[in-house]
Amino acid sequence: MPPTRYTAIPTSTFAAPVSRLMVNLMVLTVLGLSYLLWNHDKIQNIIVEIKQHNLGVVKTIEGCPLHQPDDANSSFVTFIIPSKGRDSIDRTVHSLFNQTRNLWKAVIVFDGEQRQITSAKAGYLSDPRITPYTIPKAGKANFAATLRNYGMSRVTRSEWFAFVDDDDILSPEYVSRLLEETQINTLVETVIFRMSEPRVLPPRNHVMFQLGQVGISFAIKRYLFEDGFWFKPSEIEDFNLLKCIFDFNKKMVISPYVTYYVKGWRPGDLSVEYPRINLN
Ligand SMILES: *[C@@H]1O[C@H](CO)[C@@H](O)[C@H](O)[C@H]1NC(C)=O
Ligand SMILES: *[C@@H]1O[C@H](CO)[C@@H](O)[C@H](O)[C@H]1NC(C)=O
């Protein structure tokens, strides 16, 4: 009688399917992992697109390196650029492309059809970060307020609005300095940057912004616009809006940083330090 030899049979008939199962699982795992490795880029793109979708940005941003997380988040700040179609706008937009943080979008509002045709030569108008609009000519004087209000009314997803005129340029750090101010004071609702024209405003010794000593170099939370803080056409529309925001007790800061160069004027003396002043 061959005794013990056959006792192994039940075990092995049981063991065989188990080990087959294990092998199958291993093969599947290896196949799965290699699929993930081979398609890594594609999967990352899908993740990025989903993230953008959550932000309300449905279109894929072409030409941007999708592996940089920053690029999925371009709605931190939207720059509003009112334009008469001056050639200098090329430089303004170039200073946006120069930003060290890619967390921005821009809306250009052209004043009148004819102007846009002039400026539309610029290829950047098709950059997915930039949305151009043209509105009927808003008039000869103080048109910028109307154009800025229109631009803001077209944007629903940005956390901040910032402003730059079509003959001025921004320092490459504008966006990163705005981010910095919001990290230092998470409640801040308006950030006033220093502008160089070429003297720096607001001046170093001022503890409050004043008429004629402050300009369009500021950023506001988008919800302030929704709450009714609009530009009112006037020669002092920048100051008036800031004054209104101040009077309503909104949290404001005058930043130490010079980030806005009027007509491209960079500050003469870069070593001067300015204070950070919290208002309200
Ligand atoms: C998006 O911007 C916010 C600032 O509003 C920042 O806290 C967040 O880390 C950014 N996310 C990405 C993916 O860069
Ligand atoms: C953009 O950056 C380049 C390289 O730093 C600089 O030469 C150029 O002046 C900048 N352009 C604008 C408009 O800021």
Ligand 2 surroundings by CB, under 6 angstroms: 91, 94-95, 98, 169
Ligand 1 centroid, distance to 120 Cα (angstroms): 32
Strand partners, 218: 192
For the segment 105-121, the average pLDDT, to the nearest whole number, is: 75
The CB of 160 under 6 Å from ligand 1? The reply is no
25 within domain boundaries: no
Mean local confidence (pLDDT), 95-124: 81
What is the CA(73)–ligand 1 centre distance, in A? 6
95 CA to middle of ligand 2, Å? 6
Tell me if 67 is assigned to some domain: yes
69 to 65, 156, 161, 205, 265: CA distances (angstroms): 9, 22, 21, 40, 33
Average of pLDDT values for 8-19? 50
Residue minimizing CA distance to atom 5 of ligand 2: 98
Q: What is the pLDDT of residue 1?
A: 47
Name which residue leads in pLDDT, 202 or 141.
202
Long-range contacts formed by 177-185: CB under 8 A, 24+ apart: 177/255, 177/257, 177/259, 178/76, 178/77, 178/219, 179/76, 179/101, 179/103, 181/253, 181/255, 184/253, 184/276, 185/251, 185/253, 185/278
Q: How many domains does the chain have?
A: 1
Is 17 inside a domain boundary? no
Distance from Cα 74 to the centre of ligand 1, integer Å = 9
Confidence of residue 34 (pLDDT cuts 50, 70, 90): low
Residue closest by Cα to atom 3 of ligand 1: 76
Q: Out of 13-22, 164-173, 185-194, which region has the weakest mean confidence (pLDDT)?
A: 13-22
Residue 114: the pLDDT is: 63
> For the chain, what is the mean pLDDT?
80
Q: Looking at the CA of 47, which ligand is closest?
A: 1
Is there a domain that residue 52 lies in? yes
**Cα dihedral sign, 210-279-264-105:** negative
Q: How far is the CA of 274 from the CAs of 30, 107, 195, 200, in angstroms?
A: 59, 30, 12, 10
* 2 domain-assigned: no
- Is 74 a domain residue? yes
Could you read off the pLDDT of 135-177 as tens digits, one per residue? 887 777 778 999 999 999 999 889 999 999 999 999 999 999 9
> Distance between CA 215 and CA 237 in Å, rounded?
9
Asked if pLDDT for residue 76 goes beyond 50, the answer is: yes
For residue 137, the domain's CATH number is 3.90.550.10
Distance CA(174)–CA(259), nearest Å, equals 5
Q: Is residue 207 part of a domain?
A: yes
Query: pTM of this prediction?
Result: 0.72
**Closest C-alpha residue for ligand 1 atom 2:** 76
- Confirm whether 24 is domain-assigned: no
> Which region among 1-5, 167-171, 196-200, 229-233 has the lowest average model confidence (pLDDT)?
1-5
**Whose alpha carbon is nearest atom 4 of ligand 1?**
76
Tell me the helix, strand and coil percentages in the chain, rounded to 5: 40, 20, 40
| Structural domain of 207 | 43-279
Q: Is the CB of 71 under 6 A from ligand 1?
A: no
Predicted confidence (pLDDT) per residue in 114-134, tens digit: 666 666 556 788 888 988 888
Residue nearest to atom 11 of ligand 2 (CA): 95
